[in-house]
Amino acid sequence: MQKDTLFATLETAVTAGDKQSARATLELAHPADIAEAICEFTAQQAVHYLSLLSLPDHAVLFGYLTPHAQAEIAREMSRNDLAALFSQMEADERADLFNRLSEEDQHTLLPGLAQAEREDVRRLASYPEETAGALMTSDYATLRGHWPVRKALKKLRLEAPDKETIYQTYVIDANRHLVGTLSLRELILANPDRLVEELMRTEVVHTQVDEDQEVVAKKIRHYDLLALPVLDAEDRLVGIVTYDDAMDAAVEEATEDAQKSASVAKLDAPMNQVTGWELYRKRVFWLVLLVFGSLLSGAGIAYFEDTIAKYVALVFFMPLLVGSGGNAGSQSAALMVRALATGEVAMKDWAKVLGRECLVAGALGLTMAVAVFALGWFRGGVEIAWVVAFAMVSVVMAGSLIGLCLPFILSRVKLDPATASGPLVTTIVDATGVLIYFGFATTILGL
């Protein structure tokens, strides 16, 4: 169904308070699409629509909303409705929502849950954001090694409705230590009388509960996993991260890197929901900081004021030279930041990468020097032409090397290499470029 039609249908149902037509939309469209349409409603309208649905439908739909929208809508719901919804949600989504509620709401919600669920929420909600612990769910299927396949399948059938996945199962011992893994595919192909421990794979790819979500997503992608088991400090199985949550995390990380690459701090909401005030706050820090960087370029210019006053024509080439250096630097930085993020290049490769970069940057600088030499001759004579050409090779090489090294250096001092953004590199290279250019000019023109 078209998004606009869907929105109109939902709006009619809400206005009329019509339970039947509200529920009918669930047959017509995928819950992910309905959730998206609901995001266009005000929170009150959304609460109204959700109240027309049965509780299980309500919970499914709620799960497809963005965390941001979930929290907004939850704030508008009555305590009783929220408590009922809360008990029906999936374990990982429930914990995420819990973390986004006010302390007051949190305190009124917990008593409504059973003891075990309460502890589960507290535990899952306790892990820091962007870690395996925050991403994982406790709704996974476990088996025991001494069970026959027949018993394992029976248990999976019983538990299927409550588990996030039954396609990959985890074999644990009496102390919840992870001893193996088995897929449902392998189980249904196996002789029902064989034992789980005879069939399971014992080399299980896993992660620790405090691992960064970027690493989690990379592991799931690298090993083509449906889910990645998560262990605590005592190596006990405490949860799994499923591929769909890992995919969301990977996209979130790419967005964060794309924003950092332009010196914007991480936004707390998607671009269609973020407020102007937040955008201002996330941008102003770096803009002001970079002003001080630009002052270095200014200082460089001030230092060479005599040279400039004598040859004002030199200023004509300044944007060209420092711009090209900045552009080459941005290219190198972006290539390195992304290669470090995807794991294509590791810290240990840096010498090899540096060698190649010197050659590439040299070739790029020479190409550009040839182009500007002609231009320099035409506008300022042969001397200016040589100044501009020499400066171009040097500035492009300096820019490329700065752009290449900065992500490595940041990574080395345990900062996010993505901070080596285009604007930061450009600002540093600008100042370097000014010094190189006017330095050459002063020397060659004998000023």
330, 411, 432, 442: residue in contact with a second copy (rule CB under 8 A)? 330
42, 78, 294, 443: residue in contact with a second copy (rule CB under 8 A)? 294
The answer to whether the Cα torsion of 161, 70, 226, 178 is positive or negative is negative
- Of the candidates 440, 325, 389, 436, which has an alpha carbon nearest to the alpha carbon of residue 381? 389
Total residues interacting with a second copy, rule: CB under 8 A: 108
Neighbours of 281 (CB within 10 A): 13
Residue 59 binds to a second copy (criterion: CB under 8 A): no
9, 169, 181, 261: residue in contact with a second copy (rule CB under 8 A)? 261
> Least Å distance between CB 175 and a second copy?
25
103, 115, 280, 351: residue in contact with a second copy (rule CB under 8 A)? 280
> Least Å distance between CB 34 and a second copy?
12
* Contact predicate 435/300, CB 8 Å: yes
Q: Which of residues 416-435 bind a second copy (CB under 8 A)?
A: 422-423, 426-427, 430-431, 434
> Least Å distance between CB 17 and a second copy?
26
> Among 74-82, 127-135, 208-216, 334-342, which window interacts with a second copy (CB under 8 A)?
334-342
331, 394, 411, 442: residue in contact with a second copy (rule CB under 8 A)? 331
> Least Å distance between CB 115 and a second copy?
28
- Residue 170: φ, ψ to 5°: -120, 130
> Least Å distance between CB 99 and a second copy?
21
> Least Å distance between CB 168 and a second copy?
10
Residue 309 binds to a second copy (criterion: CB under 8 A): yes
Q: Which of residues 66-105 bind a second copy (CB under 8 A)?
A: none
List 137's β-bridge partners, or say none.
240
Looking up tokens 């929502």 gives: 97
Q: Which of residues 158-187 bind a second copy (CB under 8 A)?
A: 160-161, 166-167, 184-185
> Among 7-15, 82-90, 191-199, 303-311, which window interacts with a second copy (CB under 8 A)?
303-311
Residue 390 binds to a second copy (criterion: CB under 8 A): no
* Contact predicate 27/53, CB 8 Å: no
> Least Å distance between CB 65 and a second copy?
13
286, 373, 386, 390: residue in contact with a second copy (rule CB under 8 A)? 286
Q: Which of residues 98-157 bind a second copy (CB under 8 A)?
A: 153, 156-157
- Of the candidates 72, 65, 126, which has an alpha carbon nearest to the alpha carbon of residue 99? 126
> Among 8-16, 45-53, 312-320, 439-447, which window interacts with a second copy (CB under 8 A)?
312-320
> Least Å distance between CB 226 and a second copy?
8
Residue 56 binds to a second copy (criterion: CB under 8 A): no
Residue 268 binds to a second copy (criterion: CB under 8 A): no
> Would you state the structure tokens that stand for residue 271, as one six-digit string?
């671009």
> Least Å distance between CB 320 and a second copy?
4
Whichever of 291 and 409 has its CB closer to a second copy, that residue is 291
> Least Å distance between CB 49 and a second copy?
20
HEC profile for the chain? CCHHHHHHHHHHHHHHCCHHHHHHHHHHCCHHHHHHHHCCCCHHHHHHHHHCCCHHHHHHHHHHCCHHHHHHHHHHCCHHHHHHHHHHCCHHHHHHHHHHCCHHHHHHHHHHCCHHHHHHHHHHHCCCCCEHHHHCECCEEEEECCCEHHHHHHHHHHHHHHCCEEEEEEEECCCCEEEEEEEHHHHHHCCCCCEHHHHCECCCCCEECCCEHHHHHHHHHHCCCCEEEEECCCCEEEEEEEHHHHHHHHHHHHHHHHHHCCCCCCCCCCCCCCCHHHHHHHHHHHHHHHHHHHHHHHHHHHHCHHHHHHCCHHHHHHHHHHHHHHHHHHHHHHHHHHHHHHCCCCHHHHHHHHHHHHHHHHHHHHHHHHHHHHHHHHHHCHHHHHHHHHHHHHHHHHHHHHHHHHHHHHHHCCCCHHHCCHHHHHHHHHHHHHHHHHHHHHHHCCC
> Least Å distance between CB 353 and a second copy?
8
Site string for a second copy, 189-228 (x = CB under 8 A): x-------------x-x--------------xxxxx----
Whichever of 147 and 167 has its CB closer to a second copy, that residue is 167
Residue 297 binds to a second copy (criterion: CB under 8 A): yes
Distance CA 261, CA 385 (A): 34
Name the residue type at position 135: L
Residue 271 binds to a second copy (criterion: CB under 8 A): yes
Residue 339 binds to a second copy (criterion: CB under 8 A): yes
Whichever of 34 and 50 has its CB closer to a second copy, that residue is 34
Q: Which of residues 392-421 bind a second copy (CB under 8 A)?
A: 396
